[in-house]
C-alpha cells in the first residue's frame, strides 16, 4: 500500500515592527492566519467525527482497517484484509474489541463485508465520488502498522485510474491520492473536508527504479460509489 504523503501545508506570515513617537510609521501584518486556523480546525473536526467509524481488523497475524456502514455492525473493508479467515477481531477507536464474521467478499473489486456484535459506533457517511475533483483535500484515517486511528493528509491526485494489484485483480476507476497509505491502512477511510468517505485506501504504487519499493506520494483508493454498491450487494446476499 502506498505509504507516503505529499503533505499539504498552509503557511501564513505576519510582519512585525516598531514605531517611534515621531516617525508616523505604523506596522501592519502582511498576511492573516485566519484562513490557516480555520482549515486546521476543519481537519480536527473531520477527524473527530470520522475516527469512531473506522475500526481495526485483525485476521490471523494480519492487521487492516474497516469502515462501519450501518447500525447492525456491518463493516466494509478490503477482501485482501480478510483473506481466507472466517473469524476476525474488530477493535473500535475506543480500544474495545469484538468478534466478527465474514458476510461476503467480492474479490474482483477487492472488497469484503464483515459483521461484529457488541459495540455500536456511528456509521460513516459516504460521498458521491463522481463529484470528486483533482486537488480536493483528502484525509486517510486507519490503523497503519497497528497504530490505531492514525491520520494522514494530502489531495486527490487523479480520478478514474486503472491499477493492477499484481494478483490477477485489476481495479478500475480508482482514486489516486497523495495522502500516505501505509500497511494496515487498507480498508480504512479516505475522507473529504465534510467528513464524508470518498474512498477506501487499498494499495500503493511500486517504483521499479527503487527495486520495487513503494513510490512516495502515490496511493490508490477504491471510490466510494463502488464501495457502497458492493457493500449493499453483499449485505443483501447474506
- DSSP for 56-85 reads EEEETTEEEEEEE-STT-EEEE-HHHHTT-
Report how far apart, in Å, the C-alpha atoms of 69 and of each of 17, 76, 141, 232 are.
Answer: 54, 7, 15, 10
Active-site residue flag, 80: yes
Active-site residue flag, 186: yes
Distant-in-sequence, close-in-space partners of 37: CB < 8 Å, separation ≥ 6:
none
3-state secondary structure (DSSP) of residue 16: coil
Catalytic residue among 110, 129, 149, 224: 110
Euclidean distance between CA atoms 5 and 181, whole angstroms = 8
CA nearest to 153, candidates 187, 177, 184, 129: 177
Residue 177 grid cell: 491520492
N residues, the chain? 238
Catalytic residue among 51, 53, 59, 80: 80
Catalytic residue among 186, 192, 204, 223: 186
In the chain, % helix, strand, coil (3-state, to 5) comes to 20, 40, 40
**CA-CA-CA-CA torsion for 216, 148, 198, 127, nearest 10 degrees?**
-170
Q: Where are the alpha helices (DSSP H) in the chain?
A: 34-50, 79-82, 224-236
Active-site residue flag, 70: no
**Active-site annotation, residues:** 80, 110, 186
Amino acid at each position: 500500500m502506498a505509504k507516503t504523503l505529499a503533505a499539504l501545508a498552509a503557511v501564513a506570515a505576519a510582519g512585525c515592527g516598531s514605531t517611534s513617537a515621531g516617525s508616523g510609521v505604523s506596522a501592519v501584518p502582511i498576511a492573516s492566519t485566519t484562513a490557516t486556523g480555520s482549515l486546521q480546525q476543519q481537519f480536527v473536526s473531520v477527524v473527530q467525527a470520522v475516527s469512531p467509524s473506522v475500526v481495526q481488523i485483525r485476521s490471523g497475524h494480519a492487521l487492516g482497517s474497516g469502515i462501519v456502514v450501518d447500525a447492525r455492525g456491518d463493516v466494509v473493508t478490503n477482501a485482501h484484509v480478510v483473506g481466507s479467515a472466517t473469524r476476525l477481531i474488530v477493535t473500535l477507536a475506543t480500544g474495545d474489541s469484538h468478534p466478527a464474521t465474514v458476510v461476503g467478499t467480492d474479490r474482483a473489486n477487492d472488497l469484503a463485508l464483515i459483521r461484529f456484535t457488541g459495540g455500536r459506533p456511528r456509521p460513516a457517511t459516504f460521498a458521491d465520488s463522481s463529484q470528486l475533483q483533482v486537488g480536493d483535500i483528502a484525509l486517510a484515517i486507519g490503523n497503519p502498522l497497528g497504530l490505531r486511528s492514525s491520520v494522514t493528509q494530502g489531495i486527490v491526485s487523479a480520478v478514474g485510474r486503472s491499477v493492477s494489484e499484481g494478483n490477477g485483480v485489476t481495479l478500475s476507476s480508482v482514486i489516486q491520492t497523495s495522502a500516505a497509505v501505509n500497511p494496515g491502512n487498507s480498508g480504512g477511510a479516505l475522507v473529504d473536508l465534510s467528513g464524508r468517505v470518498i474512498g477506501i485506501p487499498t494499495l500503493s504504487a511500486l517504483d521499479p527504479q527503487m527495486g520495487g519499493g513503494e513510490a512516495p506520494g502515490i496511493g490508490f483508493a477504491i471510490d466510494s460509489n463502488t464501495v457502497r454498491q458492493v457493500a449493499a450487494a453483499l449485505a443483501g446476499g447474506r
